[in-house]
Structure 1
């Protein structure tokens, strides 16, 4: 690669496109702890109680016409921020995907669901993905 591109060695990789990278001899830790904490603070949920799961198993989200509407701009902003976070947080990917289905006409129940995901992220912001050096896992293909 050095033959094709001008490269310089500036030290060990710590950040890449917002991802925090911790290199060890036996593998790499990937996380977005700083982004997760900023996300929680940005939406004003840093002082709220942490959630133990990203979504309750008893919650069934739907487009209920009776439910109160919420600001779609705020809802879309939260969903976009959470979708970015899913690159290092597969534990929230499914739940964020479910909530993303309701971006065109978000209701109060949908907003409560995304706020719960953020409260879960607040309590688990230190979660990391561990890639062993000798594994067949790939970050990208």
Structure 2
């Protein structure tokens, strides 16, 4: 059975989402470079500023190999932005966690991201709430 063609509105929405993703990553990588970080290092630091995580979970969230995460965490640790520590729930597992300097850097990174701030501010609170709710529904 042949798949039904996607309607033009859905195709336009998908294209707009793709454009937003590309622009976000371009700005994110540029802001990260301003803090002497790669985009991947900045993303890991952002995750760890929210909560300590085992390497496996970081790899799952970034959709990459755990060995890549190990190298990223190693470089962040050398800079004093991340530390490894035992998981209190399972001492065999090591957690990566942002240090105070890591939290401060992650906060500066986030504050530096201007992408979409002005366009979103131009929307009413009701429109921003609707957009948020629709995006949450899309993500399940």
Higher relative contact order (CA 8 A, sep 6+): 1
TM-score (norm 1): 0.30
TM-score (norm 2): 0.30
Structure having the higher helix fraction is 2
